[in-house]
Amino acid sequence: MFILPAIDIHKGQCVRLYQGDYATASKVAEDPLETAKTFEANGATWIHMVDLDGAKAGYPVNTEIYKNIAQNTNLKVEVGGGIRTLETIGAYLDLGIARVILGSVALKNPKLVADAIKEFGSEKIVVGIDAKNEMVATEGWLETSDVHYIDLAKEMIAVGVRYFIFTDISKDGTLSGVNAHQLEALAKATAGQCSIIASGGVHTIEDIITCKQLGLYGTICGKSIYQGTLDLAEAIQTAETLQIRPMQIEDYPALYALWVSCGNGLNNLDDSEEGVAKYLKRNPTTSFVAEEHGQLIGAVLAGHDGRRGYIQHMAVSESCRRRGIGSKLVAVCLDAMRKEGIHKVALVAFKRNQLGNAFWEQQGFTVREDLNYRNLALSDMIRYDPE
User: How many whole angstroms separate alpha carbon 49 and alpha carbon 65?
Assistant: 10
Q: Which of 3-7, 186-190, 265-269 has the lowest mean pLDDT?
A: 265-269
Q: pTM here? A: 0.71
pLDDT tens across 65-112, in order?
999 999 999 899 999 988 999 999 999 999 999 999 998 888 889 999
Residue 8 bears catalytic tag? yes
Please give the sequence-ordered ranges of beta strands (E in DSSP) within 111-185, or none if there are none: 125-132, 135-138, 143-148, 163-168
Annotated catalytic residue, options 130, 168, 207, 251 = 130
Instruction: List, as one string, the DSSP characters of 293-352.
Output: TTEEEEEEEEEE-SS-EEEEEEEE-GGGTTSSHHHHHHHHHHHHHHHTT---EEE-SPPP
pLDDT tens across 246-283, in order?
999 999 999 999 998 887 777 777 889 999 999 999 99
Identify which has the larger pLDDT, 171 or 82.
82
Residue 130 bears catalytic tag? yes
pLDDT tens across 17-69, in order?
766 666 666 777 789 999 999 999 999 999 999 998 888 888 889 999 999 99
Question: Domains in the chain, ordered, with CATH?
Answer: 2-239 (3.20.20.70), 243-383 (3.40.630.30)
**How do 218-221 and 309-316 pair as beta strands?**
unpaired
Taking CA atoms, 351 is separated from 139, 314, 357, in Å, by 48, 12, 9
pLDDT tens across 308-355, in order?
888 888 899 877 766 778 989 999 999 999 899 888 888 776 666 666
Average pLDDT over residues 287-304: 92
User: How many whole angstroms separate alpha carbon 4 and alpha carbon 222?
Assistant: 9
